[in-house]
Structures are given as structure tokens and as C-alpha cells.
Amino acid sequence: MSSEEPQRLQRYLARCGVASRRACEQLIVDGRVTVNGRVSDELGAKVMPGVDAVAVDGRPVVPPAQFATLVMNKPKGVLTTMDDPQGRPTVASLVPTDRFPGLYPVGRLDGDTTGLLLFTNDGKLGNGLIHPRRHVAKRYLALVEGAPDEAQLRSLREGVLLDDGPTLPASVRVLPPREARAQAAQLDWHLRGGNRIVELAISEGRNRQVRRMLAHIGHPVVQLHRSQLGPLCLGGLEPGCWRLLTEAEVDDLRRKAEGC
Ligand code: URA
């Protein structure tokens, strides 16, 4: 279920450390490169990293042990852990740990929460992103019981006192009816008469924080979905699917993780 992009052969060879891109082009036109056992001597050829078998002079070209960072749309009922001693369904079965050993989830979503979950095998990146001082923004959609009023929304914006301390200011709005209906349809949520969908952006990652914040103002969460993490969105990924981040997205995250 990967949506990794195919790469030009010369770029792939260079990224695998075979030689400079120019020298790799020469290897290709010299007919020294094979893809899946056949000579590939055209510079326009593309390969799918990790799928196509590439060799130079008959010697396999193996991608270096590489960092991988990906986003997944976590389905409901799947635990955010790579190993559950009780054998319940976990996100581990949904990500390509065979191709990218060491992948782990950055932060967590409750079993019942759906949406954007980031994975990496780059510990520096992952630890930087969850560091409390970084305040990486997380945006959620919550279907709540009843309709929060303006005073309740204001209290969330200013911060509410939970049992583990006050929350930082949040950004929050109730979706207008048409937008709420569209979101409910997209997320397969049942939007009953008096209930509302609240969009909430927080910059902390405390345990069950969104559920506790909304319960605190008297509007318990019925359904919860994370739609955004820092600059990342799901962009149409179906539940259970993942995509590798682009280099630009990873660079952006690295800057956030380093506090730039
Ligand atoms: N806040 C929650 O309450 N649950 C989640 O899964 C994520 C944020």
C-alpha cells in the first residue's frame, strides 16, 4: 500500500552511493546497469526503490540502511503500539517494517481515534517532534455530544484546568452545518440532531487530552479524528493506508524537531 514515487535510475544509483549522478549516467549508457535482470541503458528509465532489483556489473545495488518517515491514516480499533502482548490489532501490521526496520509511531492516538499518525525510524526526528518544548500543532475533528456555546469555546481557547494541570491556549471552532455534514460523510460519522463537530488545534500531547478538554466543558467526544500534525495532512489517504513523506516534508519536520 505504498505510494512511494518511482525514481530516475541515475538518481537512484547515486542515492545508493554507487557514484556521482553524472558517473551513474555514464554507467547506464555504457550498458552496465540492469533492472530486474535486463540491461537498462536509457537515461529516462525509472525504478521503484525497494521493489525493482537493480545491479551494476552484475552486483546488486542495495539502498543504504535508510531513514524512513511516513504518515498513516490510523483506522479505528487499532492500537498505537508495535507489539501488544495480548495480541490485539496494532499499527505494526499496517506499516512496512520489513522494508524499513525500526519504524515506530511518533506520539500516539487512542484505540478509538482515527487519523494522522506519523512513523519514523529516525530517533532524533521522532524525539524532537514529541519534545514538550517544541509545541508542534495537532489538529483534531471531534464529534461531540450536544452543542458547545461561545463561553465554553472561549474557555478552551484560553485554557482549562485538567487534573494534570492547565492546558495551553487552543484554537477551536464549531463547524457550520454544511461543513459538518461534509466532514461527517467523509469520516463515516453519524451526525445526530443536537450534536456538533468541533475542530480543535492544540500544541501539547498529553494523554487523552482532547477527550478530557471536551468532557471538561460538558461535551464528551463521540468520535475523534486527527487531521493534521504540524505541516502534514492526510491528503486523501484511506484508513489503514500510508505514504512516505517527500524529502521537502521531512526537511520541514526536521526544522520543527530542531526548534527552528
Ligand atoms: N487526544 C485524545 O483525547 N485522544 C487522542 O487519541 C489524541 C488526542
Q: Which residue has the higher pLDDT, 17 or 249?
A: 249
| Strand partners of residue 113 | none
156 and 206, same structural domain? yes
Residue 79 pLDDT: 97
Element (H, E) at 54: strand 54-56
User: What is the average per-residue pLDDT within 120-136?
Assistant: 85
Enter the pTM of the model.
0.77
User: What is the average per-residue pLDDT within 106-127?
Assistant: 92
Q: What is the pLDDT of the chain when averaged over all its residues?
A: 91
24, 39, 60: which is the final residue of a domain?
60
Q: Does residue 213 lie in a domain region?
A: yes
202 and 163, same structural domain? yes
- Which of 41, 52, 110, 252 is catalytic? The answer is 110
238 and 127, same structural domain? yes
- Identify whether 57 is a catalytic site residue: no
Residue 64 pLDDT: 59
User: In this structure, which residue's CA is closest to atom 3 in ligand 1?
Assistant: 208
80 and 42, same structural domain? no
In the chain, how many domains are there?
3
**pLDDT band, very low/low/confident/very high, at 3 (cuts 50, 70, 90):** very low
Point out the ligand 1 atom lying closest to the alpha carbon of residue 221: 3
Domain CATH code at residue 39: 3.10.290.10
Distance 243 CA to ligand 1 centre (A): 22
Domain CATH code at residue 120: 3.30.70.580
Q: Does residue 1 lie in a domain region?
A: no
Residue 14 pLDDT: 75
239 and 124, same structural domain? yes
168 and 46, same structural domain? no
Please determine, for residue 192, whether its predicted confidence score (pLDDT) is greater than 70. yes
* 167-170 own/partner pairs: CB under 8 Å, 24+ apart: 167/202, 167/204, 167/206, 167/209, 167/213, 168/135, 168/202, 168/203, 168/204, 170/200, 170/201, 170/202, 170/203, 170/213
pLDDT single digits (tens) 148-172 = 999 999 999 999 999 999 999 999 9
73 and 120, same structural domain? yes
| Neighbouring C-beta atoms of residue 36, cutoff 10 Å | 11
Q: Does residue 172 lie in a domain region?
A: yes
Q: Does residue 83 lie in a domain region?
A: yes
73 and 32, same structural domain? no
Which structural domain range is residue 25 located in? Answer: 7-60
49 secondary structure, DSSP code: T
User: What is the average per-residue pLDDT within 195-212?
Assistant: 97
Q: Does residue 237 lie in a domain region?
A: yes
Residues with CB under 6 A from ligand 1: 109-110, 113, 208-211, 224
163 and 127, same structural domain? no
Please determine, for residue 2, whether its predicted confidence score (pLDDT) is greater than 60. no
Please determine, for residue 1, whether its predicted confidence score (pLDDT) is greater than 50. no
Q: Does residue 2 lie in a domain region?
A: no
**pLDDT band, very low/low/confident/very high, at 4 (cuts 50, 70, 90):** low
Domain CATH code at residue 183: 3.30.70.1560
pLDDT single digits (tens) 55-80 = 999 988 876 567 899 999 999 999 99
Q: Which residue has the higher pLDDT, 260 or 154?
A: 154
204 and 151, same structural domain? yes
